[in-house]
């Protein structure tokens, strides 16, 4: 799998470059065919290696919960990006809530706060940068505390 230039991990995580390429093509398709597309940003609130490890764990969980046609990418800094194809914001919020509920019950090595933001094409914009900016603003998106109940100290 190390020779695969398109995948970053072994569980459907695209490299940032591949993700941007596919995102831009899907945005063009969504505008042309008047479909919705939602960009979701997921950021674990920790630093350095702990953030990267948390992002890796989150990516594994998320990749099992979304459709195979949805896109997932992770940056070296530990930010996850996900594209939910043919999904308007209300339907995407249902998916996000389901994912966050799963993460809240996951046993991370230490309690972890996760910030999530979402933006929909064409509602919030029709280009990748606008969607990223709106999603990063996290308008109306609560901060969730996945794993807060789990404590390794017994």
Q: What is the pTM of this model?
A: 0.82
* Distance of alpha carbon 40 from alpha carbon 4, whole angstroms: 25
Q: For residue 25, is it within any domain?
A: yes
Supply 31's token pair. 């505008």
Q: How confident is the model at residue 26 (pLDDT cuts 50, 70, 90)?
A: very high
DSSP assignment of 21-54: HHHHHHHHHHHHHT--EEEEEEEES--HHHHHHH
Q: If you average pLDDT over every residue of the chain, what do you get?
A: 82
pLDDT at res. 9 = 53
148 belongs to a structural domain: no
Nearest CA to 61 among 13, 24, 23, 117?
A: 13
CATH number, domain of 29, equals: 3.30.70.270
Torsion 79-58-147-64 (CA) sign? positive
pLDDT at 56: 84
Model confidence pLDDT, tens digit, residues 88-115 = 989 999 999 998 888 888 888 777 888 8
**Number of folded domains in the chain?**
1
Residue 27 lies in a domain: yes
Domain that holds residue 127: 16-137
H or E stretch including 128? Answer: helix 128-137
**Mean per-residue pLDDT for 66-82?**
89
In three-state form (DSSP H/G/I as H, E/B as E, the rest C), the secondary structure along 52-118 is HHHHHHHHHHHHHHCCCCCEEEECCCCCEEEEEECCCHHHHHHHHHHHHHHHHCCCCCCCCCEEEEE
- Does residue 5 sit within a domain? no
pLDDT > 70 in the chain, percent: 82
Q: Is the pLDDT of residue 29 over 80?
A: yes
Q: Is the pLDDT of residue 74 over 70?
A: yes
Q: Percent of the chain, pLDDT > 90?
A: 41
In Å, how far are 44, 47, 154 from 12, measured between CA atoms? 19, 24, 35
Provide the pLDDT for residue 2: 42
Residue 4 lies in a domain: no
pLDDT digit string, tens, across residues 35-71: 999 999 999 988 888 888 888 888 888 888 888 889 9
> Which pair of structure tokens corresponds to residue 8?
């970053």
Q: Is residue 143 part of a domain?
A: no
């Amino acid at each position: 799998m190390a020779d695969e230039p398109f995948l970053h991990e072994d569980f459907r995580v695209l490299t940032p470059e591949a993700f941007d390429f596919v995102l831009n093509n899907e945005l063009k398709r969504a505008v042309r065919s008047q479909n919705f597309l939602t960009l979701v940003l997921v950021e674990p609130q920790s630093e350095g290696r702990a953030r990267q490890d948390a992002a890796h764990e989150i990516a594994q969980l998320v990749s099992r919960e979304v459709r195979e046609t949805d896109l997932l990418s992770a940056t070296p800094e530990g930010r996850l990006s996900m594209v939910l194809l043919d999904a308007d914001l209300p339907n995407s919020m249902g998916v996000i809530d389901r994912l966050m509920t799963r993460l809240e019950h996951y046993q991370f090595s230490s309690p972890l706060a996760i910030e999530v933001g979402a933006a929909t094409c064409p509602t919030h914009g029709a280009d990748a940068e606008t969607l990223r900016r709106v999603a990063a603003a996290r308008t109306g998106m609560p901060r969730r505390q996945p794993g807060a109940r789990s404590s390794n100290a017994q």
